Structure 1
Amino acid sequence: MKFNIYKSVALCSLLALTGCHDFEEMNTNPYAPVYDPTVIGGTADGIDIDYTLSENALKSLQATESAVGATFFNFMYEGLYNDYQTATNLTHDVYAAYSGSNGFLNNAPAYAYNDAWSASRWRHFYDDRTISEYSQLIKTFWFCNREYYHNVFHITRIYYAFLMSAQTDTYGDIPIKYYVKGMIPPEENVEYSSQEEVYGLIFQILDQAITGLHNPPAGAQYKFSDTDDRVYKGDVNKWLRFANTLRLRLALRVSNVNPALAKEQGEKALTDPAGLMQGQEDNMKLIPKRQFVTGGNENIFALMYGWGASVVLPKEMEWAYKNQALKDGIDSSADGFVAKVSQGAEEGTVVGLDNQKFNEKEANCYLDPRCEVLWFRPTSLDDLNAKDGIHESDKEFGGYRNGVTEVGSKYTTVYSPMRVDQRTDVMNRKVWWNLAREIVWMGYSESLFLKAEAALRGWAGLPKTDAKKYYEEGIRASMNYYEIDADAEGQQKIDNYINHLAGMKAFTSGSDEEQLEQIITQKWLAVYPNGNEGWAEVRRTDYPRYLLLPRYGNNSNGEVENTKLIKRISYPNSESRNPLKPDYTQGTRVWWDVADTMDDSGKWHTPNNFR
């Protein structure tokens, strides 16, 4: 990354913003003077603002001060959503086994590096979120009226810490010094911070922000409006709970590489008086604008469905949906079960089922109720998109293995497409996805699974036996989010599923590792469709155990061994001009990913997540 690339970006921040918010509603001039980035002093160290502004820069901020709400709205809305299909869905979502993509088969889903897609994610984080929005916001809050903007200064930093975590988990080491303080690095060739350093800065931000929100000055009166903060409506308590839950998520992320740091940060999150997320109303999410006149503002999954329904049920999720709750008491921890799973990985079969078929009335397993809400049974697109309504087949749910190409244009008659009604923005719990449906980036169910793992590790005095309680509560919270509990039939399905979970026995007679496998597998199901988090946890824990390699090898040009899973995204080619860029490949593990449990033949081995 070179400084001179971004000078013009910083000078155009407000103009870039004007098309993304309803300025007429705010009586704000969309052609107000642009932001002047000039600073005086400042160092690369830490997160504190240790610089001052030139007179012109301060006047520039004051002239655009009325736009901070609009800027924050765009900052939150576009945070992980900008160019979602190419920046996330065809990479992170596929690598997390959340998206089976029958399109772009030989591209990123097969580990081929696509520079345009990586460059898009990189550009949006640095040009748009960091320089154009975050920098302008924290400088305005700090220099224009520090006490008045006290709370929103810290709220903005909490969300930036969230975005930082997704960026470093994607690439590993990243340039972040100066940027985190709202500055543009003065050097032409920008230094990369190690991922360990980035996590240290994230924890500093969260620590400072949580303390600041607990102790606001009397003059801290500014609050984001409901239209600017469409998730939490400016509610400081909800932001505190999000910050604590994020802190616990990231503490567990580093538990294998730095157990002491993980415990310290995790216990701070668990003991903070604001607590963790308390219910679905605390979910951090993306709420679509749902405005056809400004394309791209609808739910991205509904949009992608309209582009040929190329997102289908992955084979790994099919197995998970069909093999967690076992009617006849199959021992999921026994060698026989593991052998069948491994065999299924090669043959495309499912444990306990005959002839690759799953008959709900005859199978040994209870189908996960979430499957029926989130995926269609294999059905032709003509029948799914019929003018007189959706005509779904009665076929068994079918999962797609990444890299398979044989089915061509008839893939929705073989595999299960996402359960989408792209013709409406009316919510329907039976067909979950539509043009206005939210996407959850961090949810209440995840917070319960985080707490389950924290209990398993004995953090903050939580009884180890509570791991089972939070595990079950996490599953129920996930089911309830999808409103499966809304009627007696759905509640019965939930009860049947939970009461027959084969993994429950791990909490009475299993090792810590066996218990963790159950927690992470169910968390993986609950976190869907957030591939940023799902892929990170796959790499950290090596669960679920049945993730598959691309069917016919990968197209990484040797960067990723054919017997290994992909570990990170390569830096965009524009970074090759910076001699300080680290020399990593897509097969290089990131800092907190301490071991690869697939051997040289591609066989999965039980990991060690307790070091």
Structure 2
Amino acid sequence: MKNSLYKYALIFFSLYLISCSKEKFAEFNKDPDAVTTLSLDYIFTRAIVASNDNDFDAYYDNYNYISRWSRVFLQRTGNTFTVVDNASNSNNRYGRFFQDVGPLLTDIQQTIDKMPEDTRARNSYKKAIASILKVQQAWYVTDVNGSIAYQEAFQSRYGGTLTPTYNTQDELYKIFDTELKEAASVLTTTQAVDQFKFENNSDLYFNGDEKKWAKAANSLRLAIALRLSKRDPERLKTIVNDVLSHPAGLMESATDSWMLQARKNFTAGGNWNITGNGRLFVGEYGVVNYMWNNNDPRLRFFFRPNQWSEENFQAAKDQGVISKTATFDTRRYYGQYSNPDASKDAVKARFLNPLQIKSGNNTIALDTVSRIQDRIFQPENNGGGGTGIIPVLTYADLCFIRAEIAQRGWSNENAEQLYYKGVEASLKFYDNLANVAQVYDYKALTEAEINAFKSSPNIVFKQSTGLEQIVLQAYLNYFRNFNEAWALVKRTGMPNKDTKLMFEDWTNEGQTLQMPRRFVINYPLAGDLNFNNRTSAIDEMAKDPDFGLPSSIQGRVWWDKK
């Protein structure tokens, strides 16, 4: 692989092998299976790298599909009506989990379980932490696939079945909550013996800090439970009450955020290239308008000013491209219309067809729309030397989750206070991300900007519009987390055409187009070793009228109830 994290893991493994004695190598020669007993720290590093280094997930799932469906951004040329029909080469998370991440984390769990009692007791924290990451990754997979093999998966090497049964999402959500609660309890309990901990360089998330892992586990319980808002709100409320009283606590500040601070060149080249193969992504009209109208400081971290600089404007006048009497527009942030029918509207069509000027022998396309800040997704873009941040669950995310729960009356927390904490945390998160990623023309966030934004009319919290305000700010906060932005729109139905951040209807020849809600779920091929269980799982999901045809990406999984 290309990235330095993986290179580090290989070095770590090499040093581990070098440190073995000649007698140990002789043991490997006598018993080939003995070589599979690797350092737990090495395996955990590999699991973290595998969880994040999925450039096919970035290229196909995120850049080409989820970002457009959830309107995080889109191509400069707009959308065609096929935007809601095609999802070829997608769902790369599924293979990554079942081929790499899941087996690695199961190896940690099983290796610890097979240790002598005294050694096993000293690895309780490591096992709990591995369980937390395994739940998070399994949740990510089931989120768009529905039923998956989980409890019986990855066990064949340890005497289990080669044909695991599939757990329904109803079952999975109960299993996930139980496992996270148990892990958080272990990590907040002083054990009878001193604990082995993951070394700083092997735990690339929290440097082996069990207290932060406990907070992450308890916080993740809330994030997962909120998916139940349409399907089982009573179960959601029970989990909320339990989480808020759990001794593990919750993330308390940005320093508790669960994210990967990637090393340089982690996303260099390959399918991470967000502007490769002719792609040029820009902001969506409703998103950019809302941010501009509210003086949102994140606007400059998300997008770049359009091509209409004063210099280019004057050149366009001098070359007769625009009228000599034209007036310069100081606003340089505009979004592209995402409706496939936009080209049929004369005003909207102008955004799809940039004017051109000459600069020597070169031609410059004067786009009115604003390009995304490519480097917050790929810091290496166009020779950049920054580093990236890949968020899993941030403090800002959690604030908005708790604010929504409180605003809906599912907890006794103060929704307004949590909302403002989320807004401030989100602004600071993207300021930091833009800084370390070295975005174009970076300008640091100021306290004055934070205070002014929180005081602007549409941002000041109002009880009557509080839920919409929370959801809209959560949506913007998920700009760097494609799956959660998409899930939020599916779960809440916001933004929409009636919210302050307006999503216009997508139409084709007057017919409204529906946003895709999952990836294709394929029946197994004849000869598949687990044919019966896979087929039964799909047939069971299909009993839900919202599920639709397995091949339809407009169909819904269990939590996404109409």
TM-score range, shorter chain: 0.7 to 0.9
* Cα deviation digits, residues 225-265 of structure 1 (max 9, x gap): 11111220000111011111111111222122112210111
Q: Answer yes or no: is 1:319 the counterpart of 2:276.
A: no
Maintained 8 Å contact 1:423/1:434: no
Gaps of 5+ in 2: 21-27, 313-328, 344-348, 355-363, 436-442, 497-501, 543-549
Match of 2:122 among 136, 148, 161: 148
Q: Answer yes or no: is 1:571 the counterpart of 2:507.
A: no
Maintained 8 Å contact 1:298/1:436: no
Q: Secondary structure of the equivalent of 2:480?
A: coil
Q: Answer yes or no: is 1:540 the counterpart of 2:512.
A: no
Match of 2:553 among 559, 565, 586: 586
- Counterpart CA distance in 2 for 1:107 and 1:472 is 38
Q: Answer yes or no: is 1:528 the counterpart of 2:479.
A: yes
Distance 1:426 1:311, change over 3 A: closer
Shift of 1:369: 1.0
- Counterpart CA distance in 2 for 1:523 and 1:422 is 18
After the TM superposition, which residues 22-171 of structure 1 pair with which residues of structure 2 at under 5 Å, given as runs? 22-26=9-13, 27-29=15-17, 63-82=35-54, 83=56, 84-102=58-76, 109-114=83-88, 116-118=89-91, 120-131=92-103, 133-144=104-115, 145-171=119-145
Match of 2:418 among 460, 463, 470: 470
Shift of 1:281: 1.4
Aligned length: 477
Q: For residue 338 of structure 1, what is the aligned residue in structure 2?
A: none
- Counterpart CA distance in 1 for 2:47 and 2:277 is 27
Maintained 8 Å contact 2:268/2:378: no
Q: Secondary structure of the equivalent of 2:553?
A: coil
Of 275-284 and 237-246, deviating more is: 275-284
Maintained 8 Å contact 2:506/2:513: no
Maintained 8 Å contact 2:431/2:445: no
Match of 1:398 among 325, 334, 337: 334
Shift of 1:22: 3.4
Maintained 8 Å contact 1:285/1:440: yes
Maintained 8 Å contact 1:420/1:434: no
Maintained 8 Å contact 1:85/1:300: no
Shift of 1:156: 0.8
Maintained 8 Å contact 2:90/2:519: no
* Cα deviation digits, residues 40-88 of structure 1 (max 9, x gap): xxxxxxxxxxxxxxxx9xx877644443222211212331441222233
Q: For residue 250 of structure 1, what is the aligned residue in structure 2?
A: 224
- Counterpart CA distance in 1 for 2:520 and 2:180 is 28
Q: Answer yes or no: is 1:275 the counterpart of 2:244.
A: no
- Counterpart CA distance in 1 for 2:171 and 2:451 is 45
Q: Secondary structure of the equivalent of 1:594?
A: coil
* Cα deviation digits, residues 73-131 of structure 1 (max 9, x gap): 121233144122223332233222213135896698433131x223x332111111112
Q: For residue 493 of structure 1, what is the aligned residue in structure 2?
A: 449
Shift of 1:453: 2.0
Maintained 8 Å contact 1:309/1:418: no
What percent identity do the matched residue pairs reach?
A: 20
Q: TM-score scaled by structure 2?
A: 0.74
After the TM superposition, which residues 394-473 of structure 1 pair with which residues of structure 2 at under 5 Å, given as runs? 396-402=332-338, 403=340, 407=352, 413-420=367-374, 435-462=386-413, 466-473=414-421
Q: Secondary structure of the equivalent of 1:203?
A: helix
Shift of 1:550: 4.5
Maintained 8 Å contact 1:237/1:274: yes
- Counterpart CA distance in 2 for 1:460 and 1:176 is 31
Maintained 8 Å contact 1:277/1:444: yes
- Counterpart CA distance in 1 for 2:170 and 2:189 is 29
- Counterpart CA distance in 2 for 1:227 and 1:494 is 35
- Counterpart CA distance in 1 for 2:107 and 2:378 is 37
Maintained 8 Å contact 1:206/1:247: yes
* Cα deviation digits, residues 437-491 of structure 1 (max 9, x gap): 21222111111112212322444543xxx21111111111111223389999833
Distance 1:588 1:238, change over 3 A: same
Distance 1:380 1:419, change over 3 A: farther
| RMSD of aligned residue pairs (Cα, Å) | 4.0
Q: For residue 214 of structure 2, what is the aligned residue in structure 1?
A: 240
Maintained 8 Å contact 1:61/1:140: no
